[in-house]
Amino acid sequence: MAAREEDGAMAAGATQAAPGAGGAGLVKEDSLDMESFNVERKSLLDVVMEKAEQLELVEKIHRVVVGMRYSGSIEAGEAIKEQIDDCVKKTVAQDEQGGFTTGITILLNACCLLTLEGPQRLIVGTLRSLQEPDNGVKGQGISFHMFSSIQDTPGRMFPMYSSCSINQPKADPAHLDREGVINLIPEMSINLQKIGKNLKTLDDKEYQEAMSNMQRKYPELIPSVKEILGLCASPDVMSLEEYFDLYYTPMRCLGSPLDSEIVWPLPPNLVY
């Protein structure tokens, strides 16, 4: 019995000695400083927003690429281009939050290409104004088509909004299948962004010279009349009217609520 009591005492001593020997960092629960748990820490959102401010990405930008086709001469197209410019300027002037639109409108033979970027309210407002029966764009055979619409892009690519004309020869629309459309639109969008990125590096004089000689300045980045007309004629590209139907009433266009299993995730055979 004495041996057992001695063994028990040694075991107890070992247990008590353990914190001192190998567990010096262990602290009794009642001695913890609970105030250390009450320190205010930044939320994940605060950290992300702070990082965005450092990268100048706070402003949420909506970028669209829109194609337009029209009938008539290039002179008729010039009048249409001026109407587009007026719609952009008017929407910006009426914005109560002081926002602004950047981008470019490129007029070509029988077609036009718009790249607009800015707060979503301005971009949507401008596109809506293009279709207004009283103040919108008027001309023969005009139709607008949504090539690309991206919300919350990381930032602007163009320094300001401008427009220019390029006298490319007339051409028939390219015959594009769905795969051709899917490949062409991103390439066209990226090339336009490259133009904007380069324009940002120019001073005022160089900028005006570039706008006056767009085809010579960026020969490999300017899309062709054939490509733009081909996209406008493709059944796989939404018209601006179809885009707004989907934008304002997605439930009606898709056939059921957005949280329904029928449309979320979107089925692979959904055609926009």
Q: Which pLDDT does position 33 carry in this prediction?
A: 59
Nearest one of 92, 94, 112 to 102, comparing CA atoms = 92
Report the CATH number at residue 62.
3.30.70.100
Using one digit for the tens of pLDDT, what is the confidence trace for 231-244? 999 999 999 999 99
Where in the sequence is the domain holding 236, given as residue range(s)? Answer: 57-251
* Mean pLDDT, the chain, whole residue set: 82
Please state whether beta strands 161-165 and 102-108 pair in parallel, antiparallel, or not at all (unpaired): parallel
Residue 149 predicted with pLDDT over 50: yes
Residue 51 lies in a domain: no
Whether the Cβ atoms of residue 127 and residue 66 lie closer than 8 Å to each other: yes
Secondary structure class of 231 (helix, strand, coil):
helix
> Mean pLDDT throughout 48-75?
80
Residue 39 lies in a domain: no
Whether the Cβ atoms of residue 239 and residue 143 lie closer than 8 Å to each other: yes
> Mean pLDDT throughout 72-93?
93
Residue 125 lies in a domain: yes
> Mean pLDDT throughout 197-203?
96
User: 152 or 220: whose pLDDT is higher?
Assistant: 220
User: 51 or 230: whose pLDDT is higher?
Assistant: 230
Residue 46 lies in a domain: no
Q: Which pLDDT does position 130 carry in this prediction?
A: 93
Cα–Cα distances in angstroms (integers) from residue 136 to residues 73, 85, 125, 130, in the given order: 20, 11, 12, 4
Residue 189 lies in a domain: yes
Residue 209 predicted with pLDDT over 90: yes
Q: Domains in the chain: how many in total?
A: 1
Of the listed ranges 28-37, 109-118, 165-174, the least confidently predicted one is 28-37
Q: Which pLDDT does position 235 carry in this prediction?
A: 93
Residue 258 lies in a domain: no
Q: Is the dihedral of CA 200, 202, 203, 205 positive or negative?
A: negative
Of the listed ranges 31-35, 141-145, 234-238, the least confidently predicted one is 31-35
User: 153 or 49: whose pLDDT is higher?
Assistant: 153
Of the listed ranges 11-25, 77-91, 200-214, the least confidently predicted one is 11-25
Percent of the chain with pLDDT over 70: 74
Residue 52 lies in a domain: no
Residue 31 lies in a domain: no
Q: Which pLDDT does position 134 carry in this prediction?
A: 77
Cβ neighbours, 10 Å, residue 134:
5
H-assigned helices in 151-254? 178-199, 204-212, 214-217, 225-233, 240-248, 250-254
Using one digit for the tens of pLDDT, what is the confidence trace for 243-267? 998 888 766 665 555 555 444 444 4
